């Protein structure tokens, strides 16, 4: 199934010059970027974005972290895009993330884990709607489309 997923380079990823590395890995996997923008997340939006974590011990730190600097917000599309990005990202705690994954290769602490990716198609849609207007998500085909499917 062709899906869209929401991906964000978190403030530490931007500060540590990992935007290109992350975009490159998603491109190389065969996923197609359909929206990209740099953004500074206001606190109220961060709270809506991470509403499911309200009340957890790491919540305040998480909101401070995600609003601490610019992020790069993106929508990526492709066959099974949600799971593809989750597998490229690696586990939430970089200490447990496999080598070869983005977190396993670039991060050390769960509170600074470089990248966000939606965990299901429904949350992807919710997150895309929070960060993008319809006209910012581009509908186009790429020349390699035939070479990415059976």
Q: What is the DSSP letter of 45?
A: H
Report the first-to-last Cα separation within the chain, whole angstroms: 13
Q: Binding to ligand IDP by residue 121, rule CB under 6 A?
A: no
Q: Binding to ligand IDP by residue 116, rule CB under 6 A?
A: yes
Write the DSSP string, 77-143: EEETHHHHHHHHH--SSTTTSPTTSHHHHH--BTTB-SEEE-SSHHHHHHHHHHH--GGGS-----T
Q: What is the DSSP letter of 67?
A: T
Residue 92 binds which of Mg ion, ligand IDP, none (CB < 5-8 A, kind-dependent) = ligand IDP
The residue with its CB nearest to ligand IDP is 92
In the list 58, 108, 122, 129, the residue contacting ligand IDP (rule: CB under 6 A) is: 58
Q: Binding to ligand IDP by residue 110, rule CB under 6 A?
A: yes
Residue among 122 and 138 whose Cβ is closer to ligand IDP: 122
Binding site for ligand IDP (CB under 6 A): 53, 58, 61-62, 92, 110-111, 113, 116, 119
């Amino acid at each position: 199934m062709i899906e869209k997923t929401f991906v964000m380079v978190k403030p530490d990823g931007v500060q540590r010059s990992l935007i290109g590395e992350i975009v490159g890995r998603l491109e190389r996997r065969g996923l197609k970027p359909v929206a990209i923008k740099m953004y500074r997340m206001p606190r109220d939006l961060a709270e809506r974005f991470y509403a499911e974590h309200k009340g957890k011990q790491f919540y305040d730190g998480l909101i401070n972290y995600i609003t601490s600097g610019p992020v790069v917000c993106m929508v990526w599309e492709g066959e099974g895009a949600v799971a593809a990005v989750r597998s490229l990202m690696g586990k939430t705690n970089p200490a447990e993330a496999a080598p070869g994954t983005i977190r396993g290769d670039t991060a050390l602490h769960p509170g600074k884990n470089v990248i966000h990716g939606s965990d299901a198609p429904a949350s992807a849609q919710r997150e895309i709607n929070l960060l993008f207007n319809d006209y910012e998500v581009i509908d186009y085909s790429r020349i390699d489309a035939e070479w990415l499917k059976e």
